Amino acid sequence: MISSYRGRLAPSPTGLLHLGHARTFWTAYQRALKSGGTLVMRNEDLDPQRSKPEYAAAMLEDLRWLGIGWQEGPDVGGPYVPYAQSQRGEFYLETWRRLVREGFVYPCRCSRKDLARIAQAPHDEDDEPLYPGTCRPASALDETAVPESPAGLNWRFRVPDGEAIAFEDGHFGPQSFVAGRDFGDFLVWRRDDVPAYQLAVVADDAAMRITEVVRGADLLRSTARQILLYRALNLEPPAWFHCPLMHDAAGQRLAKRHDALSLRALREQGQTPEEVIAMFG
């Protein structure tokens, strides 16, 4: 019997993958293996300033060195090409159009110095700030007022204030985040014509038929946002499995600035894949 399980690896080529990334991707790989399903590699190179081809090449090479394999991806192809977000612009535009037509998003003219970060997956300490609703309209946009393109404006998703968005996480158990309190109207498109992480990941996971999302615990809150997008698009959300984060000796969460704990550095120090896997704990 062929398994219907479809998992994914979705690294961003904005630096070398570190030990924490490796542990999460190893977990995703093991869960796909256990289910006898398919694992998809997706290059999440949305950020035009920080994404680098050399990092994209390194992440594929380093994960294969670790022993992780995938059945679909930018290097092997598959039925849902392309597997690089920078090449999937039309998919995101169609998702934006659907959200506009149904009245779920609105343009926002508020300035945001750190807007560029929204192309990247947010984390707890630098999560998208709670939006005060400055540009939120009283009602949905008139269809005649909708532009042909989202470029030139920020676009936000209108959350249902006060509603608890609950889901079951495969590792952490029951989760619940209240819209308007734990997170506000969130960005789905940047004024520099780049789709935000939340929109892109939902569009891609739905298009690629992903049945379980395995990722770090720093994205638990983002899951609530993404569930709202799935609901607005009338799509069935996947199952969720969030992995605990890894920390360095000083207790700081691992980040791409931890070059000494990157897979590339560990390889160059002579560590074997088995020794790296043993570090996962």
SS3 state of residue 247: strand
At 199 the pLDDT is 98
- Considering 105-109, 228-232, 249-253, 261-265, the range whose residues carry the highest mean pLDDT is 228-232
User: Is the same domain home to 94 and 187?
Assistant: yes
Q: What CATH number did the domain enclosing 151 receive?
A: 3.40.50.620
User: Is the same domain home to 81 and 94?
Assistant: no
Query: Domain end: 207, 232, 262, which one?
Result: 207
- Which spans in 102-219 are helix H? 197-207
Q: 222 in a domain, yes or no?
A: no
Structure-block tokens of residue 125: 């300490």
Residue numbers of the domain that contains 184? 88-207
Q: Residues with Cβ < 8 Å from 21, sequence gap 6 or more?
A: 11, 263
Q: How far apart, in whole angstroms, are the C-alpha atoms of residue 89 and residue 93?
A: 6
Task: Give residue-wise pLDDT tens across range 122-172.
Answer: 655 557 888 988 899 987 776 666 788 999 999 999 999 999 999 999 999
At 115 the pLDDT is 45
User: Is the same domain home to 12 and 81?
Assistant: yes
Number of structural domains in the chain: 2
Q: Which of 115, 226, 256 is nearest to 264 (CA)?
A: 256
Least confident of 41-50, 157-166, 168-177, 244-253: 244-253
Task: Give residue-wise pLDDT tens across range 54-101.
Answer: 999 999 999 999 999 999 999 999 999 999 999 999 999 999 999 999
Q: How far apart, in whole angstroms, are the C-alpha atoms of residue 148 and residue 199?
A: 18
At 113 the pLDDT is 61
Q: Please give the mean pLDDT across all residues of the chain.
A: 91
User: Is the same domain home to 74 and 168?
Assistant: no
Helices 220-232, 197-207: inter-axial angle, 10-degree rounding: 60
Q: How confident is the model at residue 260 (pLDDT cuts 50, 70, 90)?
A: low
Q: Give 112 or 58, the one with higher predicted confidence.
A: 58
Q: What is the pTM of this model?
A: 0.91
When pLDDT is averaged across residues 214-242 and rounded to a whole number, the result is 97
User: Is the same domain home to 199 and 253?
Assistant: no
At 140 the pLDDT is 74
* % of the chain with per-residue pLDDT over 90: 79
Q: How confident is the model at residue 13 (pLDDT cuts 50, 70, 90)?
A: very high
pLDDT over 50 at 116, yes or no: no
pLDDT over 70 at 242, yes or no: yes
- The strand ranges marked E within 152-262 are 154-157, 164-169, 173-178, 186-189, 212-216, 239-243
- Confirm if 72 and 78 have CB atoms less than 8 A apart: yes
